[in-house]
Amino acid sequence: MIALQFTTALTSAPVVNDFQIRKVVNGTEFTENITPTSINWLGASNPMACDLNVPMIQPMNVNQFVTYKVSYKGGAFIAQSNDAFLVQMQTTTAISAPSNVTYHLPYNKVTWDMITSAGNYDYWLKFDGGTPVLAGNNVTEFMVPGTVTAGIEHNVSVAAKDANGNWGAWSALVYFTPTGGGTTTVMAPTMTPPSGSTNISSVELANTQGAEMYYVITNTQPMPGVTDPDPATSGTLYTGPITISPTQFTRIIAVCKLNGVYSAPYMSGYNMTTPPPAPKLTGSK
């Protein structure tokens, strides 16, 4: 949280886009602007102050001494007046294997539980000990690819990989025998820009099979035990770029549909930041 004190009273409630925030870590200023996640302003009872809540600084392999600079309505960036706070270096914690790995007939898909609700992990699968295949970011299911031969026994294992490239443990092998039938595996759509992008106003879907694409939009992070909206049953048919809000976290979940068969869902999350308006800063300390 950043506590601000203005030299003159605010006459109206500030909004998140009134502010740009930059962090200074170990003496290096980062030029990427941060948008506050929320604002606490007491109005008439204290019109010269407000608090800004900002995203948590993630630990790294070194101690981080962090300060902030804040610009109000396009004014100069004002440095905080108190001392830097410390984000202690991370300790090496093993990433556990995903649990409840299960193969499902007749859907021909593998599902699992996310390892933590607060994490940000890519999930990968190995079929028969082969090259890992990316399922997606913070996803819990994957359609078995057509390269896995029907009618004979196979095995699959699932692992998570964090944003720093650290692999977690692989789950125990699950054995399964996919059925035949000649059904084409429907691949999940791709999304542009990629998950985690900022300063964007729209997202495009694409697929290489000529499939219909359906999507839903949500502003919540994926949580164990909480069911996401299903684009296969409640989604909107994709006809062009999806316009998203520039002021809040947005997650898009999408599927492809081909010959009555749906792909596994694919999702991307976007932490939005947009340029603020241009009036000058009146003061801060």
pLDDT over threshold 80, residue 242: yes
User: 262: which strand partners?
Assistant: 257
Q: Which CATH class is domain 99-176?
A: mainly beta
pLDDT over threshold 50, residue 33: yes
- Between 170 and 83, whose confidence is greater? 170
CA distances from 125 to 31, 97, 173, 252 (A): 37, 12, 11, 22
- Between 4 and 91, whose confidence is greater? 4
> What does the alpha-carbon distance between residue 219 and residue 91 come to, in Å, rounded to a whole number?
31
With CA atoms as reference, report the closest residue to 33 among 44, 19, 47, 46: 19
pLDDT tens track for 91-100: 656 788 999 9
Instruction: Return the ∠ at Cα 143 (arms to 141 and 149), rounded to 5°.
Output: 140
With CA atoms as reference, report the closest residue to 23 among 47, 55, 50: 55
**Considering only 49-63, 158-172, 221-235, which range has the smallest mean pLDDT?**
49-63
Confidence label for 28 from pLDDT (cuts 50, 70 and 90): confident
Q: Domain residues of the chain, as ranges?
A: 2-87, 99-176, 190-270
Residue 245, pLDDT score: 77
Strands 212-218 and 236-237: antiparallel
Residue 285, pLDDT score: 47
pLDDT over threshold 60, residue 89: yes
Same fold? 2-87, 99-176: yes
The topology (CATH level 3) of 2-87 is: Immunoglobulin-like (2.60.40)
pTM: 0.38
Residue 181, pLDDT score: 46
Cis before 193 (ω within 30): yes
> What does the alpha-carbon distance between residue 267 and residue 132 come to, in Å, rounded to a whole number?
19
**Average confidence (pLDDT) over 180-191:** 72
pLDDT over threshold 90, residue 159: yes
pLDDT tens track for 124-135: 999 999 999 998
**Average confidence (pLDDT) over 239-248:** 85
